[in-house]
Structure 1
Amino acid sequence: MFSGSIPALVTPFCDGTFDEAAFRQLVDWQIEQGSSALVPCGTTGEASTLSNAEHHRVIEVCVEQAAGRVPVIAGCGSNDTMNALLHMNFSKKCGATAALCVAPYYNRPGQAGLIAHFSYLAENCDLPIVLYNVPGRTVTDIEPETVCELAKKYPEKIIAIKDASGDLSRVTDHRMGIGKNFCQLSGDDELALPANAAGAVGCISVTANVAPKLCADFQRACAENDIEKARSLNDLLYPLHYAMFEDASPGPVKYALSRVHSWLSDEVRLPLVPCNDKARKAVDHALEHAGLL
């Protein structure tokens, strides 16, 4: 269902509120530049700082502006199963293609709890689920055996994973444990090349916010098995991948976007603050290296 370069979109703010006009421009630009799907209200979208009303409005605007040109994978994760279901039901109603559901954070459920959480969501909403494993943020790790159990139990509902575990062996674990039809997407830009070689088919990307065409071209080269071109594009993007995390994300990527587009600001919400000078220098250097400045 999903492949290629899929940006985890930032949520633009202006004087503390959702900048809907800028977000609509961002959606159009991403599609024009070759992004194959869009993810509103993920980690990069500062979903943890949005009220439910804001969260739903961001998803609604993304679906409306995309207008069927690309799929929308709505960020629906929560450490409260019922709130995750609320997000999923809204996203289904407004026309999202799938839900991105992160492992519940802070609560630290075990593997049995994760199976119960995702099973409840799969059984109570028709929207397909993309699992999101990012143990560096959630502490909880969706282990490969759990992913395989869920995907086999709900083959029509739990259809994909965004894996940001940093463990490349999991691509093969999932492929051999579930089958090739289960969609695997890298959650780490810098690991997208080896992940694709192991069987992933794309990346839910931070870098694609600011370099959508380069990221789309890179993913296309991977899909076409043009390793020389893929490696060359990866080299262009590589410093940018790391610059995006020189300070708390999405500070650096919002700064990068403000350098590329006058209609986007680097405003973030507390407890985040605009990225520091070291990060700004790293971003500027990486943008120049990639030919974006």
Structure 2
Amino acid sequence: MTQQKLQGIFTPNLVPYSADGSVNEDELRRYVEWLIERGVHGLYPNGSTGEFTRFTPEERRRIVAVIADQARGRVPILAGAAEANVKETLAACEYYASLGIRAVAIVAPFYYKLSPASVYAYFKEIGDNTPIDVTLYNIPMFASPIDVPTLQRLSEECERIVAIKDSSGEVPHMIRMIQAVKPNRPDFAFLTGWDAALMPMLLVGCDGGTNASSGVVPELTRKLYDLTTSHQIEGARQIQYDLVKLFDTMIYSAEFPEGFRAAVNLRGFNMGHGRQPLSTEQRTDITALSNELQCMLAAHGFTDQPIGGCPIDANAGGGEAEVSAIVQQVVAELNRRGLM
């Protein structure tokens, strides 16, 4: 049976921790429900944002099982299935297939930098033996890159390889991949993992994205997708500008994905302390970052301003966007105080 093409915004799920460092399953379920209610097209556990390398194989499987149980088929799930070798990866594919997962995402071999021939052989072995559809995951900053000739060859030889998620953020690379694959595989899906280029990626032919920001502001990423795909360019452009500012702050101001975890806390969740130990200075920096993120979220009415308020951007020039942001902040504060 032909399955629906992977399309839209798939949210890379952050994982909340309990005080003892275990997965807080109740909070994870609440978070999944919140994301679905706010219109995400799909869920993406066990990705980079979900810190998949910091969990045991058993924990990774349990995370997907909990999310699948909570989602109850309302949205498709793209589950990270990358393990240390082909045998274990295929075992993960078997398990996720048994859960009814739509597809798995598998990163190219990491730690060892491999040649294109080795990357091809790795995915060919998986593509020939997987019981579930596979999305290739190209993230060259962390793993062996998947070049265009390798992608084209795999797409033509392996029916089960149905998509690629590219986190390079390079628009020309995405165009080259689409040009190489689409003529022979019109059903093949292209997803971007780089939030700062979501709008231009959609405009050049991407089918959607796996975007960490959607785990913080699912309302904005969904709206950006809808506006862009319906060619309402001016509205989409403004949201993309806002998203870049938020994304840059979350990804560059703290160790990834701590900035995103801090922002999700501001949306009303208890994400707990991550498994990566932080220095005293880093914890202080995250406190300062949280105040900055709170001001950004308050500007969109997603949370209240921090105590003491938010500074006015001196470089904004008093434009319409600044006035709108100030009005939203004032309305949010009045609502908080019960005056509206």
Q: Distance in 2 between matches of 1:290 and 1:181?
A: 37
Match of 1:43 among 41, 48, 60: 48
- The Cα shift of 1:272 comes to 6.0
Calculate the TM-score normalised by the size of structure 2.
0.81
Indicate yes or no: 2:166 matched with 1:163: yes
The aligned amino acid for 1:175 is I
Match of 1:13 among 14, 17, 27: 17
Instruction: Look up the match of 2:267.
Output: 260
**Of the two structures, which has the highest relative contact order with CA contacts closer than 8 Å and spacing of 6 or more?**
1
Choose 222-231 or 93-102, whichever is displaced more. Answer: 222-231
Indicate yes or no: 2:142 matched with 1:137: yes
Q: Deviations over 1:28-78 (max 9, x none)?
A: 111110100100111111110111111100011111111110100011113
Instruction: Look up the match of 2:31.
Output: 26
Q: Distance in 1 between matches of 2:34 and 2:225?
A: 18
Instruction: Look up the match of 2:294.
Output: 284
Which structure 2 residue ranges, 5 or more long, are not aligned? 304-340
- The Cα shift of 1:186 comes to 0.7
Q: Deviations over 1:63-105 (max 9, x none)?
A: 1111110100011113422221121111111111100101111
5 Å-filtered alignment, 1:116-265, equals 116-138=121-143, 140-154=144-158, 156-179=159-182, 180-245=186-251, 246-261=253-268, 263-265=269-271
Q: Distance in 2 between matches of 1:187 and 1:117?
A: 22
Residues 235 and 167 (structure 1), Cα distance of their counterparts in 2 relative to 1, 3 Å cut? closer
Root-mean-square deviation over aligned CA pairs: 1.6
- The Cα shift of 1:208 comes to 0.5
Instruction: Look up the match of 1:84.
Output: 89
Instruction: Look up the match of 1:270.
Output: 276
Residues 151 and 58 (structure 1), Cα distance of their counterparts in 2 relative to 1, 3 Å cut? same
The aligned amino acid for 1:166 is G
Q: Distance in 2 between matches of 1:286 and 1:266?
A: 22
Which structure 1 residue ranges, 5 or more long, are not aligned? none
SS at match of 2:237: helix
Calculate the TM-score normalised by the size of structure 1.
0.94
Q: Among the aligned pairs, what percent are the same residue? A: 27
SS at match of 2:165: strand
Choose 233-242 or 273-282, whichever is displaced more. Answer: 273-282
